[in-house]
């Protein structure tokens, strides 16, 4: 009788944490891009006009489209670099959550106006 | 019983996609906790891992549908500028809110925050869904990835909550109205 079914499938992680870290950090970068472009459009009429790629929605169209491009580009680059690697995920988490937290704060207009 | 097309879209955006996302969020946290808590079975069925991935992917789809309908269908109606000489601002919610100091902050803080913070939600939940689908059973070997997943889901719920709260308050103070009237049920004269 085979005992194969009772043996755990993995003794340690088979998939390195690099691809997961890439997704986590890229999401932080993409979110931060939303915040930075929001503040930039608010401070500069030129940036606001440049970001109004779809007139009925105004600068919001450019802020979100550009942020998604930044997010996906960051994800692709990080995925390419970390695909087969294990990285310090604790540090990556700290950076990603800091970026997400800052994005929440900077998109809050009274705080964005202080910059 | 009638509804205008603009009201209908607002309902689909907020009460449909947005509210479903918020409801699903607490389920996702419970699901993740149950799946990876210390007393969880060591080798749960692979179906449970797939279900969590599908659950988060549906949440991501809801988040994208919410922001896309909000930004590209409803927001243009909300921010449309009234033609010169317009006296009734009912069809121009942004201008209506800004015309009164008692309501202007609903736009200047509420809408300005909502329209941007809502976009953090699909970014965060898409990353979470991809991680769960990609790692599946291997997630149990990556505690830091699980920390990130919990954090992303909680943060996305917080951002969605902000957007949902201000969406409801904006709709209360200056609803997006207009467009064609859709008759839902024909009533009888009493």
The average pLDDT across A76-95 equals 96
* pLDDT for residue A11 is more than 80: no
- When mean pLDDT is compared across A27-41, A69-83, B49-63, the lowest value belongs to B49-63
User: ipTM of the predicted structure?
Assistant: 0.90
What's residue A89's pLDDT? 94
Query: Which of B23, B12, B9 minimizes the C-alpha distance to B58?
Result: B23
CB contact under 8 A, B123 and A104: no
What's residue B46's pLDDT? 67
The H-assigned helical ranges of chain B are 5-11, 19-36, 46-69, 75-79, 93-98, 104-105, 112-117, 120-135, 143-173
Q: A13: distance to nearest CA of chain B, Å?
A: 5
Q: B82: distance to nearest CA of chain A, Å?
A: 13
* pLDDT for residue A8 is more than 50: no
Structural contact between residues A36 and A29, judged by C-beta atoms closer than 8 angstroms: no
Which pTM does this prediction carry? 0.91
What's residue B60's pLDDT? 98
Going from N- to C-terminal start, the domains of chain A cover 23-112
Taking a contact as any Cβ pair under 8 Å apart, which residues of chain A between 78 and 107 contact chain B? Answer: 89-90, 93, 96-97, 100, 103-104, 107
What's residue B49's pLDDT? 75
**What contacts A86, CB < 8 A, 6 or more positions away?**
A16, A17, A18
> Which residues of A are less than 8 Å from B116 in CB distance?
34-35, 38, 60, 63, 107
Token pair recorded at residue B133: 């689908």
Q: For B22-68, how does the pLDDT look when each residue is reduced to its tens digit (9 = 90+)?
A: 999 989 988 888 877 766 666 666 677 788 999 999 999 999 999 99
Nearest chain A residue to B145 by CA distance is A20
> Which residues of A are less than 8 Å from B46 in CB distance?
none
């Amino acid at each position: 009788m085979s005992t194969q079914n009772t043996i755990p499938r993995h003794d340690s992680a088979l998939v390195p944490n690099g691809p997961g870290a890439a997704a986590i950090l890229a999401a932080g970068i993409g979110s931060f891009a939303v915040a930075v472009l929001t503040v930039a459009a608010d401070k500069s009429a030129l940036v606001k006009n440049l970001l109004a790629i779809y007139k009925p929605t105004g600068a919001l169209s450019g802020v979100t489209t550009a942020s998604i491009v930044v997010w996906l580009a960051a994800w692709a680059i990080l995925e390419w670099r970390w695909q087969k690697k294990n990285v310090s995920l604790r540090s990556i988490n700290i950076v990603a959550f800091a970026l997400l937290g800052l994005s929440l704060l900077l998109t809050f207009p009274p705080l964005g106006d202080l910059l | 019983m009638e509804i205008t097309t603009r009201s209908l879209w607002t309902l689909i955006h907020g009460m449909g996609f947005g509210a479903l996302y918020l409801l699903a969020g607490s389920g996702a946290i419970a699901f993740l906790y149950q799946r990876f808590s210390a007393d969880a079975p060591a080798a749960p069925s692979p179906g449970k891992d797939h279900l969590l991935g599908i659950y988060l992917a549906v949440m991501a789809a809801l988040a994208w549908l919410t922001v896309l309908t909000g930004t590209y269908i409803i927001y243009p109606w909300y921010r449309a500028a009234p033609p010169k000489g317009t006296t009734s601002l009912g069809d121009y919610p942004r201008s209506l809110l800004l015309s009164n100091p008692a309501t202007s902050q609903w736009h200047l803080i509420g809408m300005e925050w909502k329209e941007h913070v809502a976009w953090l939600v699909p970014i965060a939940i898409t990353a979470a869904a991809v991680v769960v689908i990609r790692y599946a059973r291997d997630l149990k070997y990556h505690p830091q990835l699980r920390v990130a997943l919990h954090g992303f889901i909680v943060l996305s719920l917080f951002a969605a909550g902000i957007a949902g709260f201000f969406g409801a308050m904006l709709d209360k103070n200056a609803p997006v109205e207009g467009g064609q009237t859709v008759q839902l049920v024909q009533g009888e004269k009493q």
